[in-house]
A and B are shown apart, each in its own frame.
Chain A
Amino acid sequence: MLRYGFVSGERILRRGVAIVDTFAEAFGMRAARVLITARTAAWARTAAQSMTGFATSVIGCKIEAGIEAELLPQETPDGRPGVSVLLFGFDADGLRGRLVDRVGQTVLTCPTTACFDGLPEAAERVVVGGSLRHFGDKFQSSKVLNGNRYWRIPVMEGEFLVQEAFGVQKAIGGGNFLILAVDPDAALAAAEAAVDVMRKVRGIILPFPGGMVRAGSKVGAKHYKKMIASTNDAYCPTLRGRTGVTSELPEGVNSVLEIVVDGLDRSAIENALRVGIDAACRPGVVEISAGNYGGKLGKHHFHLHTLVADASA
């Protein structure tokens, strides 16, 4: 069962907010980075926004995705403004399928865009443009530049340029922390402050709407056998005192929000958690905690006290 706030020791205070001695438990995933360029930053964003919709949890959406960063012309392969998107799946083959679906529906279709691999160093590669080229009905052509094949697919607007293969690397999904606050406004203000600083960190995305999730879950359900996940009743403020609920919420906590972080590697998630937790320590926040499963399911553990100690150093 998912345990939030698994307390094993003392608390650290940061600006009056207690950092619980617990850890976030995260899982091994596979990630790809898609660079979308366009005539303007607005069109690149439009494609990226459509690409990363309905991509909050890998179980419900088959993929987790978000915008990593906006890119200046000097940061992109074709010298145009762009957006980099990170996509996370369980394995390389699943990720390949989702990339073909999503690039095909939201980038191929979108005016002025081109689409490039953003993990050129990754040894493992999956064919994306090499599948989408079939849309060109054998009218497509290709070029090899510096060892990479690029496809030029004729479309009504002109042509769509897409790289044949995309790098895939080992990555981590499910880094997280919880903001326990006196009321919903305080929780939201702290979570918004955290998201603002975390979005500046490269190598991570926050896959939930606006970067945060209010509907934390436990594995399975007590009352519905078929449900694979249900509300985390121990952390629901409206259920405090209800029969059958053992609340984990300290007195005075009336609203909780969670920030979920997926990252290309451990240090990217650590950087994001560290700045996010620091920003979330604001008036009206009582505790910062984290979600884990007792440490047995996910092999990546992020201890809040270690993160906070690094920030103070």
Chain B
Amino acid sequence: MNIRGVHIEDTFAEGFGMAAARVVITATNLKWARIAALKLTGFATSVIACKCEAAIERELGPDETPDARPGVAALMFAIGTENLNRRLVERIGQAVLTCPTTSCFDGLPEAPDRVPAGRALRAFGDKFQISKVVGGQRYWRVPVMEGEFLLQESFGVQKRAVGGGNFLILGEDAPSALAAAEAAVAAMDGMPGIILPFPGGVVRSGSKVGSRGYKSMTASTNDAYCPTLRLTTDSALAEGVNSVLEIVIDGLDAHAISRAMRAGIDAACCPGVRAIAAGNYGGNLGTFHFHLRQIMEGVS
């Protein structure tokens, strides 16, 4: 398979089951909603080191938010529902409760599974907080110095969310790989139900499980895809490939990831890109397999 001269390898991305929540932050203007969302989702690139993966999903117009103010939707992914609840409590408590003018709402109202993150945070009000039930949902008004912080008591959990969708951009040189990755991120930006948890949506340090040189390392550089190691290791890189970047995608379901991969890969097929590949573990670790050629069917 070939898209505008870029070879699509016959391989698949391997994704894992995760639990996800959607946090809707509103504020007096978009600037303050974004400020809170960036703090909420910082240092959240991989579940192993950061305990959750998170990023901004998209910006919301006043007609799309519960309180008719501008807002931002952020998605947070973790391993297990209880773990996700803890991450919601600590991150909303540090980054939204503290941030001027913001309110915080559940963005998965249809989800039958729910966690009481707002109930834990209400205790900051030291029993001066009060609550209202509107439309079957409880909201807490927590007094703060600025006025009050309004937040929803419970957040929906999507238990069948997927982490680790991905594809690799094999470029002729570093600027080509970066330009293609930036084009892919721009194409996927704002697509519903997905986030790209790494800085700028891109990761340059793909890893393999474990390490040959250090027994205690759980992951180490994916030497087969490192262009500077072509002569010193069993390289997977074809002649002419000198820089590789990966896009990692977490989604509320497998379908959202497939759609984003299709848009992202299409945009990444630029001049200077030799091939598109994907990362997997042989198919034995993750439940979700995203076959590149199936996803790109009809594009080539």
Question: Which A positions have Cβ atoms within 8 angstroms of B?
Answer: 39, 43, 46-47, 49-57, 60-61, 101-102, 104-106, 108-112, 134-139, 153-160, 178, 184, 187-188, 191, 208-210, 212-217, 221-224, 227, 229-233, 235-239, 242, 245, 254-258
Contact of B249 with A by CB under 8 A: no
The 8 Å CB contact of A111, one of B35, B40, B245, is B245
Distance, CA A215 to CA B146, complexed state (A): 7
**Interchain CB contact under 8 A, B95 and A216:** no
Main secondary structure of the interface of A (DSSP, over half): mixed
The residue on B at minimum CB distance from A212 is B100
Contacts of B143 in A (CB 8 A): 231, 233, 236, 238-239
**Knowing A157-B204, A223-B127 touch, does A56 contact B145 (C-beta < 8 A)?**
no
Give Cα distance in the complex from A13 to B97, angstroms: 32
Sample of 20 more A-B contacts, CB < 8 Å, known A60-B94, A156-B244, A157-B174: A53-B41, A54-B40, A56-B94, A101-B43, A112-B204, A135-B207, A136-B221, A137-B217, A138-B213, A156-B226, A157-B177, A157-B204, A157-B205, A158-B228, A184-B147, A209-B95, A210-B99, A214-B149, A230-B123, A230-B126
Asked whether, in the complex, the Cβ of A138 is within 8 Å of the Cβ of B42, the reply is: no
A209 to B96, CA, bound (A): 8
Question: Which residues from B are CB-within-8-Å of A106?
Answer: 42-43, 45, 199
| Residues of chain B lying within 8 A (CB to CB) of residue A258 | 145
* CB contact under 8 A between A54 and B44, given known A135-B205, A214-B145: yes
Q: Give Cα distance in the complex from A73 to B222, angstroms.
A: 31
- A sample of 24 inter-chain contacts (CB < 8 A) reads A53-B44, A54-B42, A54-B95, A60-B94, A101-B49, A110-B198, A111-B202, A154-B226, A156-B204, A157-B177, A157-B244, A158-B242, A184-B146, A209-B39, A210-B99, A214-B99, A214-B145, A217-B124, A231-B126, A231-B128, A238-B147, A238-B148, A239-B128, A245-B128
List chain B residues, Cβ under 8 A from A242.
128
Chain A minimum-CB-distance residue to B129: A231
Given contacts A60-B94, A137-B217, A137-B223, contact A51 B39 (CB under 8 A): no
Docked Cα-Cα span, A153 to B217, in Å, equals: 15
What range describes how many residues of B lie at the interface? 35 or more
Inter-chain CA distance A98–B174, complex, in Å, is: 29
B50 touches A135 (CB 8 A): no
Give every chain A residue within 8 A of B148 (Cβ-Cβ): 238
**B119 in the interface (beta carbon within 8 A):** no
Query: Restricting to B33-72, which residues have a CB under 8 Å from any CB of A?
Result: 35-36, 38-46, 49-50
7 tightest Cβ-Cβ pairs between the two chains A and B? A53-B42, A138-B213, A157-B204, A214-B146, A156-B244, A223-B127, A256-B145
Partner of B144, one of A51, A153, A214, A229: A214
Cβ-defined contact, A227 with B124, below 8 A: yes
Report how far A88 CA is from B12 CA in the complex, Å: 42
Chain B residue numbers with a CB within 8 Å of A109 are 45, 198-199, 203-205
Is there a chain A Cβ closer than 8 Å to B270's Cβ? no
**B91 adjacent to A213 (CB under 8 Å):** no
Find chain B residues with CB under 8 A from A184 CB: 100-101, 146-147
Q: How far is the CA of A222 from the CA of B148 in the complex (A)?
A: 19
Interface pair B221/A232, CB less than 8 Å apart:
no
In the complex, B77 has a CB within 8 A of chain A: no
Bound-state Cα–Cα, A197 to B39, Å: 21
Q: Which residues of B contact A245 (CB under 8 A)?
A: 128
Give CA–CA (A134, B36) in the complex, Å: 34
Cα–Cα, bound, A306→B226 (Å): 58
Expressed in whole angstroms, the Cα–Cα distance for A282 and B45 within the complex equals 41
- In the complex the two chains form, what is the Cα distance from A127 to B40 in whole Å? 28
With A210-B32, A255-B147 in contact, is A50–B214 under 8 Å at CB?
no
A231 / chain B contacts, CB cutoff of 8 Å: 124-126, 128, 142-145
Checking B43, B96, B200 against A43 with a beta-carbon cut-off of 8 angstroms, the contacting residue is B200
Enumerate chain B residues within 8 angstroms of A52, measured Cβ to Cβ: 42-43
Of all chain A residues, the one with the shortest Cβ separation from B90 is A60
Q: Are B233 and A139 in contact (CB under 8 A)?
A: yes
Q: Does B190 contact A (CB under 8 A)?
A: no
Chain B, residue nearest A153 (CB): B221
